[in-house]
Structure 1
C-alpha cells in the first residue's frame, strides 16, 4: 500500500509486491460483479464503462467511473488501487475517500480474507471499525439496480434531511423550502485549517441540493419512462470536510457578495472551487432520461442551466510568430536542445549524480514555534539509532550578504525565533530517510512564546505601526490637504491584495558537496553560483578559490534559488567540510515550503468618496485610524470619462522576518504600468511579519503592481459607468506602443463581438455566467550585472563548445546561446554544444533572474564569436573559399587561439527596454458552486525579433498559467495561532493542472517589431506574460457582476474579501411561478481587524541588555557548557566541530576559563592568531575539550574596534555509547557595555 497523503508511522523492513497476485486482480461479471482489491482506479474506470454499456442493471456504474476520474490525477489513478484507497480511509478517518463514499452509497460489499477461517463480508461503513490486522481486503462486490433508481453522488450526509425527503414530492414548493431549512439547521461543519470555512461548506451543501433539484427539471428525456409527481429523488448525502480553502463567505443566491478587501484570497475562494467541486460532486450525464417531459413547461428556461455541469472540451491552441529563414538558426523555431533528454528522463539534475562511496545525507531541524527564544535543544530522541546517525549539529551561522544588502540571512536560528520553520541546525545520517526522520525527532524547548503576527491586513489596520516602513514617495506629492484639481468629478476608494505564491518547482532546494584535495566541489540547484561560492567560503572561513560551484541545470527556480539556495549549499558544505565526506541535502517539499519563503503578499490601499469638482479633500476621509491617516491611503481622482487627474497610493509588502529584499525602489517605477502617471504619488511600505523572509518570484513587484493598477482601472470604469477598455485607453498616451496592440488584439480576438455574445448569454442564464476582460501591459526590463561566456572551437572536427555564466532553469537559455553562436559563426546548430556552468567561468557573475540572463549571456557569446572571427579572418584570406573545418584546422596549424572569453557589463553593454503585451480572457462560472473554466485566452506580446520563437511562445504560455494560479488556485494558509504553513504540499496546495489551463489558448508574438537595443533585436519573455493573468481575475469579476445584477443588487462597486455561497440565507420563493430564489441585499462595509500591539522589529543595533552580565567583564572569557545559551546576540558566527574521541565523559560541567590574547596559558599548542580558525586542544582535569579559537574579526562583517569586542564560545555536545555525536562552537561578538 502506498502511503498516499500520509507519512508512514513505521517504515516497513520488507516490501512485498502483491500487484501480480491473480486473486487480487479479479474483474468478473458472473455470478456477481466483482473487482479484486488490487485493481487500480484506472482499471476500475475502464471496467465500469464497459459494464454500464452492456448491462442495464449496472448502467449506474458509468457514473461511478466518471466520479473516479475526478479522484487525484492520472498518475495516481494508474497505480493507486481500490484496496489502497480504502485502507487509507481505514487508518485515517479524516481522509476524504471518494471510493469509500461511492461504494457505501451503492451498497457494495467488501470481502475480507484472514490467514485462517472463512471470508468475512462487511459494508464499507462496517469495514472502518473492523480490525484488519493480518487480513487482506480481497474483493469488492457491487449490486445491480433497475432503472427505477437514480444514482447521484455528493460528499454530503445529512440524515435529517434525507429522512424528510422520504415520500415527499419533488415538485412541491413545500418540499424545497422544508429541506433548505433543515439543511441550514442540520449541517454544522467543523473548521480545521486549511479546510474551507463552515459557512462555505454549509452553503455548498444547500446549493448542491438545489442544483440536483434544478438538474432533475432540466435533463433531456429520450425514452418514455413515466414518473409520478410524488417521485422521490433517492440521493445519498454524506458530509465530509474537504480540503480546499474555498468560499469563506457567501455568494448570496447568485454571487451577491459582501464587500471588503479584494484580491486573490477572495477570488481564489471563488475559483478554487473548481478543484473542490471535483472533490465534492459528481453530476449525471445530460443525456440521461428524466423529468423534462413532465417539468419542462413548469420551469423558466433561464434556470435550466442550474442543473448542468460545466463540461470541458479538449484543450486547443494557436501559436503565431514571424520567422526569417535567411537568418536561421537565429530566429528559427527549434525545440529546446535538452527537450528529448528531459522527456526521456536522461537529463541530469543535482540529485542525479551517482552515489559516492561514503556519502551522507543532511536534513534541517526546524523550529516549531514562530515567536520565542530557544532555551534548549535536545537531539537525544534523534540519536537513538546510534549505529546509523553519524553526526548531528545544532548551531547558528550568518549567511553571506545577498546582493550587497545591509542585513544578513541567518543560516541557523540565533536563539531568537523569527518564524515557524526556521532552521536551527542539521542532522547528518547515512540515508536521506533516516536524516529526515531524525530531524523531526529533535526536541526544542522555548520560552517567551507569543502569538505570531502573520496577516498583512492586521498590521496595516493597527494603530501601532512599528513593523511598517514609512517608505519614500515617488512622483507628484499629493497630500490630503491639497485641493482636488479642476476637472475631478469622482474620487474612488478601495483596496486590493494579492496572495502569496509558492515557487512550485519540480526540484526542491538541493545540493551535493564533495570534498576534494583542493577544497570543495559543490553541485547546487542555484540561480547564482557566485553567491553560493561566497557564502560557503565565508561560513567555513576558507578562500573562495577552494570552492567550485557547478550547475548543469536546475529543475525550476522562479526566483526561489537566487539567495535561498545558499541555505542548503552552506549546510551541506558545512557538514562535508567537518566530516570530510560527500554530503547531499535534498529538502522535502514540506521543509522547502516552511523554511524558504514565498512570493510576497502585497496590499494596495486607496480611499476617498465621490466628490464633485468644486469640493476639496482638505478635511480628508472620515473614519480613518491615526496610522492609516499618517500613511495616506490610495486616492484616485478622475473625470467623467475616467481620466486619472491624480493618484496617491500606499503599497504594503509583507516581506516576512527579514528586510533583505525590498520593493521600495521597484514599486514607484513599476506601478503605473503603461498609463500616464505625471500626477501620481506612490509609496512602498515594507511590512515585517513572523514568516520566512519572502523571496523574489517570477516578475517580482511588476506582477503585484500591474494587478493593482488594473484593478483600479476596473474600479474607475464602474464609478464613471464607462467601458473598462475605453477607460484604459483614455489613460494611455496616444503614441504609446501598446495602443496599436490593443486595436490589433481586439480585432484578432473578436473582442467586441464576443462581448455582445456574452451579454446575450448572461441575460438568458441565471446560474451560468460568462465574463471577458482586456488588459494591457508594460513590463520594464533592466539588464544588470556581469556575465561571462567562453567559446572554444575544436579544430579536429569544427565543433564548438560554449560555457556561460547563466543557469539553465528551464527557460531555454542554452538553446538561445547555441543559436546565436551558430548564427554568428555561420555554422550548423548541431555543431554547438553547451557545457555546464561553473564558478570558474562565471567568477564574480550575477544571478540568473529577471528575464534578462538569456540576453546577457547571448550578448557575451556573440562577442566571443566576433573575437574568434576576427582571429580567423587573416587565415581565411590565405585560403580560397574554405569550409569551416578547413578554416579552423588551418588556424590551429598556424597556432591561432581558438578560445575566446567576453564579459557582458551592464554599464557598457546593457540598455533597458520595455516588453508590451495585451491579453483578452474569457471565463465561465457556475454560480451555484463556483466552478469555473477559462474558456479562451488571446495574448499578443511584443518579443522583438525572437531569437527562438518556440521557446518564447512556451515562456509566454507558461508564465501566464503560473500567474493564473495566483488568481484561481493557489494560496498559502498559515495557522494563525502557531504561525505554521498549513498548505505545505500538493495535498493541500494546488497549482494549476492540465485541466485548468485555458481551453482555447492563443498566443501571438507581435510581427515586425525588432528591438533596437536588444540582443539580436530580441526581448525577454520569461516573466512579462505572468502579469497579464490578472485579466482572468477581472473576467471572473465581470461574470459575478452579471449574477449580482440578476439578484437585484445595484451595479455599484464591491470588494471581494471572502466569497461565499449561500442559498438558504434569503427567502425561498416559488420556483414554479413568476418568482425565483432571492435574498436581501447585504452590501455593507467590513472593517479590517485591528490588533492592539505589535512586537518591535528584531535586531536593533543596541540590544546589550539581553546579554548576560559576564559579557561585560573587563577580561575576555571562554564559557564551556552543556546545552545552548538561552539568550544570543544577532552578531554571531558558528562552526561545527566533529570529535570522535571516546575519552570524553558523559557529562561536562560548565566552567569559566580566563585566557590571554594568544591563549598561551590555556592551550598546549599555540598557533599564530590568524583570521582563519584553528583547532586547539585543552587538557584540564583529564577532560578533553575541543574548541575553535576566536576570530580576530567577526565573520558577520560587522566592524567593531578590537578593544570593544568580547568573545563568547559555547560548546554543546551529546554523548551516547561513549561517542560524541555533535559539538557546537558559537562565537558571539558584541560591543562592550559602557
Structure 2
C-alpha cells in the first residue's frame, strides 16, 4: 500500500517545512481582508447601474432615455453611441458588445448605463427608460440549434441575422472531431453495443463577491481599474480598446477576489470597461457593482451539455470502441466556448483507454448569456458520458461497476489517448487499488446488497470513480508567466507576479517558493497586488496552472538573485562559491553564519542589484486542430473517490453518507491548502451534479436569480463522513515546481462518484439489471422520477439502450 499523507496529519511539508497554511486566512475570517466594495471611495466617487434587456432576442426600434437623465443625482447616461473606441469585449472572438446596439441577444444583456451620485439613485433612474423592441423568437434548445446550423464558431460571427443565419454554411462548420482507429468497424464487430444520452445542466459560479469594478482617473490622463478579475491583462486590453487609447494608459489591479471559479476570467472585463468608460467621460471615480439578481442574469455559467455515446465491448466489459458526441450550449457568443468544448473532447476518455474512438464536439448558439469558464472548463461535462457508459456496461453484464472500470483504466501498455498523447505516469490503477482497500469497498458493497434486499423504501448506493485531468492551457500561448522580485535593504522581500488570488492559496505557495530558494524565513516574503504595470501581458489565473506558471516564474527570479548574492559573498568573504549557501535565514560559510539582513545591507552598499525578473513558459505542449492530434497537456493529475448515498425512494430525497478520496498532487507544495482545494472542489462538483438547477422560461428569462431559487450546497449537504488523503511517493514525472501537481480543478470531478452512486441506488429497484437515466442536476424530483421508472421497468427510457442513436449522431 502506498504511503499517504492522511487528512489532519502533521506530516512535514514536502517543499517548505515551516510554512503555515493559507496566509490570508486570518484576514478572511476576521473581515480585515478588503475587497473592492469594502474600500473607502474617493471624494468624487459616483456609481453606475445598467439597464438590462428584458428580451432574449429582439431588435431595438427606438430608445428614449430622456426621463432617465432627469432623475435625481444622475450625471450621465451612456449608450453604445458614446463609446469612443470599440464596442466589443469578447475574450477571444468578437460577439460581445459592451452595450447592445440595434439588437439584443439574451435577456439580461446590458443596453445602457446610468451614472449617479449614489447607487440608489443610479438604480432608480434605470427604471425610467423607454425602449421599443421588436421581439423575435429565441433559440433556446442547443440540439435544435446544431441541427439548424446555429453555432458560435468565429467564421459565423458576422452572418447572424435574426431569427436565423444561413443554415447550409453553418452546419458545415459546426463540429470538431478527434479520431483514433477505425471506430465504425470496431462497433460493428463488437460482441455488445450500448447507446445512451445525457442532459448535463449548467452551474452558476455564485461567488461570495459578485462582479465589480472601480475606475479612477490618474494625473497623467491614464486610468486605474480595480477589478475582481482572474485576468487583469485582459481587463487592461479591453478597457484600452473600448476607450481607444494605448494599453500603457490603463493600469488594472487585483488584490484579491471573493471567489472566481472561472466566472471572472473573461466576464469581469465588461464591468471594468464600463466603469472606465464612465470615469473617462465624467472625470470622476466610478464604482460598478452588479446586484446578485442582475449578476446571475447578465453573466454566463458553466456550459450545459447534451451528450450521446455508443460503446462496443466484450464479455468482460473491456471497451473495443467508443463514439461520443458532445454538444455544448455556448449561449449567444463565442466567449471561451472554443476551448471549453475542446477540453470536454480531450476528457471524454476520463481515465480509460477507449480503443477505437471518435469524439465529436459541437458549439451551439442559443439566446442566453454567453456561457464561460467554470472550474474544470468543460472537462467535467466531457467525462460524464464515459462514466455513464461504465455503469451501463456493468449492469448489462451483471458485473460490479468498479470491476468494469478497472479493466478499462490506462496502464503502461494501453497509454495513448484518442488525441494521440502518450501518458507517461499512469498512476490510476495503483491509486484505485489503494482506495478500494482503504475505503473497505468490497465489504461495504456486500453489506449494501443485503440491506437493499430487505429495505423496500431506503436504498443505498456505492460508486468508485476515477479522474484523469490534463494540466495546461489548451491555448498554447497562455502557458507563460512572469514575476518581479525585489529585496529591500532591511532584508524584506516583495514579489509581484501575474497570478491572482481568489482564495485558493496561490500567493501563499509563491511566497513559499521564494523563501525556499533564498533560504530565508517565510515571514520575510510578501506579495503585492497583481498589477499590469509591474508584470505585463499575463495569462489568466485558470486551467489549474496558477502555481505551475507563476511559482516557477518567481523561482527563476529568486534563483537569479540568489546567484548574485552568492557571487557577491564569495568576493566579500574571499571564499570559494562552493563553501557558501543561502540557508537558515542567512549565508552559511565554511566558518560561520551571516544573518540575512546583514548580507543584504552589505550587498546594497556594494551596489549589487537587488531586483530581478523571472519568466517561465511550459515546454513540450502542442496540438494540431486540423488533425485532432497532439500533446495539449504537460501532465495529468489523477484521483478517485468512493461515495455512498442513501435514497428515500418514495420522496426522492437523499443524503451523501460517506466519501473517501485519494488524490494525486505529486510532491505537494502545501498539503493543508491542497486538502482544502480537494474538499472544496468536491463539494462544488457535488452541487453541480445534485442541487444547483438553472431554470429558464420559454422566452429565455432566467428564473433562478438568487439563493431563494438556486441551491448551492450548504454545511448540511456535506458528507457526514468525509475522508481525504493525498497520495505520497509519486512526484510529478515532469519538471514542474518541485515536482508538484496542480490541484485547483481536478477534485471537482471526483463528485461524479455521487451521481454514479445515486444511479446505483436506483438501479437496485430493478435488481441491478439496468441503469436508470438520471440527468443532472440529480435533484430529488429527478431521483424520484427515476425511481418510478425503475420500479415500472422503464429504466431504459432515454438511458442506455441497444437502439439506434438519436438524430444528432446518426446524421453525422
Q: Does TM-score exceed 0.5, indicating one fold?
A: yes
Structure 2 residue 259 is matched with structure 1 residue 544 = no
Shift of 1:813: 0.6
Match of 1:433 in 2: 120
697, 717, 727: which one aligns with 1:975: 697
Structure 2 residue 401 is matched with structure 1 residue 724 = yes
Match of 1:632 in 2: none
CA contact (8 A) 1:399 1:566 kept: no
596, 599, 604: which one aligns with 2:307: 604
Match of 1:590 in 2: 293
Structure 2 residue 514 is matched with structure 1 residue 837 = no
Match of 2:415 in 1: none
Q: Take 1:981 and 1:834, find their aligned partners in 2: how far apart are those partners?
A: 40
Match of 2:748 in 1: 1026
Secondary structure of the corresponding residue to residue 364 of structure 1: strand
368, 382, 389: which one aligns with 1:712: 389
The range that moved more, 700-709 or 373-382, is: 373-382
Shift of 1:383: 4.0
Shift in alpha-carbon separation, 1:562–1:1019, aligned structure 2, 3 A: same
Shift of 1:323: 4.2
Match of 2:468 in 1: 778
Q: Take 1:958 and 1:688, find their aligned partners in 2: how far apart are those partners?
A: 31
Shift in alpha-carbon separation, 1:483–1:876, aligned structure 2, 3 A: closer
800, 803, 813: which one aligns with 2:493: 800
Q: Take 1:463 and 1:1055, find their aligned partners in 2: how far apart are those partners?
A: 28
Q: Take 1:893 and 1:332, find their aligned partners in 2: how far apart are those partners?
A: 31
Secondary structure of the corresponding residue to residue 176 of structure 2: coil
Shift of 1:324: 3.9
Secondary structure of the corresponding residue to residue 593 of structure 2: coil
CA contact (8 A) 1:321 1:1006 kept: no
Q: Take 2:50 and 2:537, find their aligned partners in 1: how far apart are those partners?
A: 29
CA contact (8 A) 2:549 2:616 kept: yes
Secondary structure of the corresponding residue to residue 522 of structure 1: strand
Equivalence map 1:818-897=2 (5 Å):
818-877=511-570, 878-879=572-573, 881-897=593-609
CA contact (8 A) 2:341 2:378 kept: no
* CA deviation string 1:455-486 (max 9, x = no partner): 33444677999476531321236566x47454
Secondary structure of the corresponding residue to residue 504 of structure 1: coil
Shift of 1:400: 5.2
Q: Take 2:798 and 2:77, find their aligned partners in 1: how far apart are those partners?
A: 51
* CA deviation string 1:782-812 (max 9, x = no partner): 164332111111122x111111111001110
Shift in alpha-carbon separation, 1:781–1:809, aligned structure 2, 3 A: same
Equivalence map 1:902-917=2 (5 Å):
902-907=614-619, 912-917=634-639
* CA deviation string 1:984-1040 (max 9, x = no partner): 111101110111111111111101111132211111101001011111001011111
Match of 1:743 in 2: 433
Equivalence map 1:31-430=2 (5 Å):
319=7, 323-324=11-12, 330=16, 334-385=20-71, 387-395=72-80, 398=86, 405-430=92-117
* CA deviation string 1:1098-1140 (max 9, x = no partner): xxxxxxxxxxxxxxxxxxxxxxxxxxxxxxxxxxxxxxxxxxx
Structure 2 residue 207 is matched with structure 1 residue 505 = yes
Shift in alpha-carbon separation, 1:399–1:937, aligned structure 2, 3 A: farther
Shift of 1:378: 2.4
Q: Take 1:801 and 1:393, find their aligned partners in 2: how far apart are those partners?
A: 41
Q: Take 1:340 and 1:1054, find their aligned partners in 2: how far apart are those partners?
A: 46
Shift of 1:967: 1.2
Shift of 1:489: 1.3
Shift in alpha-carbon separation, 1:655–1:332, aligned structure 2, 3 A: farther
Secondary structure of the corresponding residue to residue 1021 of structure 1: coil
Q: Take 2:327 and 2:621, find their aligned partners in 1: how far apart are those partners?
A: 35
Match of 1:933 in 2: 655
CA contact (8 A) 1:825 1:869 kept: yes
Match of 1:1164 in 2: none
Structure 2 residue 491 is matched with structure 1 residue 787 = no
Secondary structure of the corresponding residue to residue 48 of structure 2: strand
CA contact (8 A) 2:205 2:301 kept: yes
Shift of 1:953: 0.4
Q: Take 1:463 and 1:431, find their aligned partners in 2: how far apart are those partners?
A: 46
Match of 1:1151 in 2: none
Shift in alpha-carbon separation, 1:690–1:1009, aligned structure 2, 3 A: same
Structure 2 residue 323 is matched with structure 1 residue 648 = yes
Q: Take 1:464 and 1:573, find their aligned partners in 2: how far apart are those partners?
A: 34
Specify every segment of 5 or more residues in structure 2 that has no aligned partner in the other structure, as ranges. 152-166, 413-425, 574-591, 623-632, 776-780, 808-812
Aligned pair count reads 722
Q: Take 2:595 and 2:131, find their aligned partners in 1: how far apart are those partners?
A: 70
Match of 1:1042 in 2: 764
Q: Take 1:437 and 1:765, find their aligned partners in 2: how far apart are those partners?
A: 58
Q: Take 2:689 and 2:344, find their aligned partners in 1: how far apart are those partners?
A: 20
Shift of 1:1061: 4.5
Match of 1:150 in 2: none
* CA deviation string 1:12-33 (max 9, x = no partner): xxxxxxxxxxxxxxxxxxxxxx
Shift of 1:839: 0.3
Shift of 1:401: 6.2
Q: Take 1:870 and 1:418, find their aligned partners in 2: how far apart are those partners?
A: 57
Q: Take 2:526 and 2:90, find their aligned partners in 1: how far apart are those partners?
A: 32
Shift of 1:716: 1.3
CA contact (8 A) 2:320 2:354 kept: no
Q: Take 1:1083 and 1:819, find their aligned partners in 2: how far apart are those partners?
A: 53
Structure 2 residue 699 is matched with structure 1 residue 1011 = no
Shift of 1:825: 0.8
Shift in alpha-carbon separation, 1:1044–1:451, aligned structure 2, 3 A: farther
Shift in alpha-carbon separation, 1:400–1:896, aligned structure 2, 3 A: farther
Match of 1:993 in 2: 714
The range that moved more, 769-778 or 907-916, is: 907-916
CA contact (8 A) 1:657 1:689 kept: yes
Structure 2 residue 768 is matched with structure 1 residue 1059 = no
Structure 2 residue 264 is matched with structure 1 residue 561 = yes
Shift in alpha-carbon separation, 1:1064–1:644, aligned structure 2, 3 A: closer
Shift of 1:905: 2.2
Secondary structure of the corresponding residue to residue 960 of structure 1: helix
* CA deviation string 1:131-179 (max 9, x = no partner): xxxxxxxxxxxxxxxxxxxxxxxxxxxxxxxxxxxxxxxxxxxxxxxxx
Shift of 1:322: 8.1
Structure 2 residue 453 is matched with structure 1 residue 766 = no
Match of 2:156 in 1: none
181, 191, 194: which one aligns with 1:492: 194
Match of 1:48 in 2: none
Secondary structure of the corresponding residue to residue 814 of structure 1: helix
TM-score by length of structure 1 reads 0.56
Shift in alpha-carbon separation, 1:463–1:683, aligned structure 2, 3 A: closer
* CA deviation string 1:1161-1205 (max 9, x = no partner): xxxxxxxxxxxxxxxxxxxxxxxxxxxxxxxxxxxxxxxxxxxxx
Shift of 1:721: 1.9
Q: Take 1:523 and 1:765, find their aligned partners in 2: how far apart are those partners?
A: 58
Shift of 1:1085: 4.2
Shift in alpha-carbon separation, 1:425–1:1062, aligned structure 2, 3 A: closer
Secondary structure of the corresponding residue to residue 237 of structure 2: helix
Specify every segment of 5 or more residues in structure 1 that has no aligned partner in the other structure, as ranges. 1-316, 607-634, 1067-1077, 1093-1234
Q: Take 1:645 and 1:1079, find their aligned partners in 2: how far apart are those partners?
A: 32
Secondary structure of the corresponding residue to residue 995 of structure 1: helix
Q: Take 1:856 and 1:703, find their aligned partners in 2: how far apart are those partners?
A: 23
* CA deviation string 1:228-258 (max 9, x = no partner): xxxxxxxxxxxxxxxxxxxxxxxxxxxxxxx
CA contact (8 A) 1:943 1:1005 kept: yes
Larger-Rg structure: 1
Q: Take 1:320 and 1:762, find their aligned partners in 2: how far apart are those partners?
A: 34
Q: Take 2:193 and 2:771, find their aligned partners in 1: how far apart are those partners?
A: 13
Shift in alpha-carbon separation, 1:1054–1:848, aligned structure 2, 3 A: same
Q: Take 2:796 and 2:403, find their aligned partners in 1: how far apart are those partners?
A: 29
